[in-house]
C-alpha cells in the first residue's frame, strides 16, 4: 500500500431507533420495553466512524435526506473526524433502522429502511473515483444497491487498492464479486447463507472460508460472535479469540466495530493477522456499551486493552 493511508467506505447512514425488551412481540401483541435510544447508525456509516475513532483517515460516500436525521449524520461525521462525501437529497427521507435489543444478553434483531441511501448508484462511485484510486483501503457492504458496491470494488482493485467486502445483509452474491475481494468478512450467519451450510462449529467455519477462497476471494475472515473469528488465506488458517472488555450490553455494532478497527489497522501497515487482533479488541470494547456508532472506542482505549490482552 506504499504511502497510502486513506480508508474510503461506501455505505449507508440510518438513524438507529433501538428498543430494549425481554423478547420481540408476537403479531398483534404489545410489549412494554425497558429502554429506548436514538442515534447514528447504518453499516457503512458505523464502520467509517469506528475506523476514524480507531485512528484511521476516513472518507465516507453516501446519501442522506435534507431532514433532521441527515443533520444527525453530518454531525456524527464531524465529531468523529470522518470526511463526508455525502449527497443531501430533497424529497427523500434519510434511512432509519428498527433495532430490538434483548435486555438480558444484548442480542439483537434489525430492520433497515435505507431511504436516500437506497438510491446510491454507480454515479456516486464515479464521483469519488479519484479518492478511491488514491486510497489504501476501499470497503463496502450490501445495504446500498449491489451494483454500486461492485463498481467501487472494481475501481479499487484495478488501482491496486486493498479491498474489504462485508457481505451484509446476507443475500445472493454474484460470482464476479469474489475475485474483487482482498478480504471478504461475513459473520457466521451471513457465511452460512452464502455457502449453503451451517457455520456452527470451527470445522464448518474452516470449510465455509475455504469455499469463499475457492470462489476467488484472496482472504476470508468469518466473525463468530463470542467465539472470536476465523482468519483463512491460502496456506494459513487461524482462530483469533474474542476479547472481553466487560459485561456485554449490546452486540448490535460488534461487526461494524470489528471491520472499522480492521481497516484502520491495515491502513497503517499492520500485518493482516495483527489487524484481526486489533479488530477483535475494538469489537470487544464496543459491545460493552449501548448503541452502534456511539459505542465505537477511541484509539487509546483499543491500544490499552490490546496491551493487556
Distances (CA, A) of 63 to 15, 85, 246, 292: 13, 9, 35, 19
What average pLDDT does this structure show over 279-294? 96
| Residue 1 confidence (pLDDT) | 43
Q: What cell was used for 41?
A: 447508525
Architecture of domain 6-307: 3-Layer(aba) Sandwich (3.40)
What average pLDDT does this structure show over 17-28? 95
How far apart CA 188 and CA 207 sit, in angstroms, is: 12
Residue 53: closest CA among 308, 309, 283: 283
As to burial, measured by CB atoms within 10 angstroms (0-12 exposed, 13-18 middle, 19+ buried), residue 238 is exposed
- To the question of whether residue 270 is assigned a binding role by annotation, the answer is no
CA dihedral 147, 151, 154, 159 (to 10 degrees): -170
Active-site residue identified among 107, 124, 175, 256? 256
Q: Round to the nearest angstrom and report the end-to-end CA distance of the chain.
A: 28
| Residue 4 confidence (pLDDT) | 82
- To the question of whether residue 59 is assigned a binding role by annotation, the answer is no
Place of cell 431507533: 17
- To the question of whether residue 253 is assigned a binding role by annotation, the answer is no
Q: Is 256 a catalytic residue?
A: yes
How far apart CA 178 and CA 163 sit, in angstroms, is: 11
What average pLDDT does this structure show over 262-289? 97
Mean pLDDT in the chain?
96
- To the question of whether residue 124 is assigned a binding role by annotation, the answer is no
- To the question of whether residue 226 is assigned a binding role by annotation, the answer is yes
0.85 surpassed by pTM = yes
- To the question of whether residue 264 is assigned a binding role by annotation, the answer is no
Which residue ranges make up each domain of the chain? 6-307
Give the H/E segment covering residue 308: helix 299-308
Amino acid at each position: 500500500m506504499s504511502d497510502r493511508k486513506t480508508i474510503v467506505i461506501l455505505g449507508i447512514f440510518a438513524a438507529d431507533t433501538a428498543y430494549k425488551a425481554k423478547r420481540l412481540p408476537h403479531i398483534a401483541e404489545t410489549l412494554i420495553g425497558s429502554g429506548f435510544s436514538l442515534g447514528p447508525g447504518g453499516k457503512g456509516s458505523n464502520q467509517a466512524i469506528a475506523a476514524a475513532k480507531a485512528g484511521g483517515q476516513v472518507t465516507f460516500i453516501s446519501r442522506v435526506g435534507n431532514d433532521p436525521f441527515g443533520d444527525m449524520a453530518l454531525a456524527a461525521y464531524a465529531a468523529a473526524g470522518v470526511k463526508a462525501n455525502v449527497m443531501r437529497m430533497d424529497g427523500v427521507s434519510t434511512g432509519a433502522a428498527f433495532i430490538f435489543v434483548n435486555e438480558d444478553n444484548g442480542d439483537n434483531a434489525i430492520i433497515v429502511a435505507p431511504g436516500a441511501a437506497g438510491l446510491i448508484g454507480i454515479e456516486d462511485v464515479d464521483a469519488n473515483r479519484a479518492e478511491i484510486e488514491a486510497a489504501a483501503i476501499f470497503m463496502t457492504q450490501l445495504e446500498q444497491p449491489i451494483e454500486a458496491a461492485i463498481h467501487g470494488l472494481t475501481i479499487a482493485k484495478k488501482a491496486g487498492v486493498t479491498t474489504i467486502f462485508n457481505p451484509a445483509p446476507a443475500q445472493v452474491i454474484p460470482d464476479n464479486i469474489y475475485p474483487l475481494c482482498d478480504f471478504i468478512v461475513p459473520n457466521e450467519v451471513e457465511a452460512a447463507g452464502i455457502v449453503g451450510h451451517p457455520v456452527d462449529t470451527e470445522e464448518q467455519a474452516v470449510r465455509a472460508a475455504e469455499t469463499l477462497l475457492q470462489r476467488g476471494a484472496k482472504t476470508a475472515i468469518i466473525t463468530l460472535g463470542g467465539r472470536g473469528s476465523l482468519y483463512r488465506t491460502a496456506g494459513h488458517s487461524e482462530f483469533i479469540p474474542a476479547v472481553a472488555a466487560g459485561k456485554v450490553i449490546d452486540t448490535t455494532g460488534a461487526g461494524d466495530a470489528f471491520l472499522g478497527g480492521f481497516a484502520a489497522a491495515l491502513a497503517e501497515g499492520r500485518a493482516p493477522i495483527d489487524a484481526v487482533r486489533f479488530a477483535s479488541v475494538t469489537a470487544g470494547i464496543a459491545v460493552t456499551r449501548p448503541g452502534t456508532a456511539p459505542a465505537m472506542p477511541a484509539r487509546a482505549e483499543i491500544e490499552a486493552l490490546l496491551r493487556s490482552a
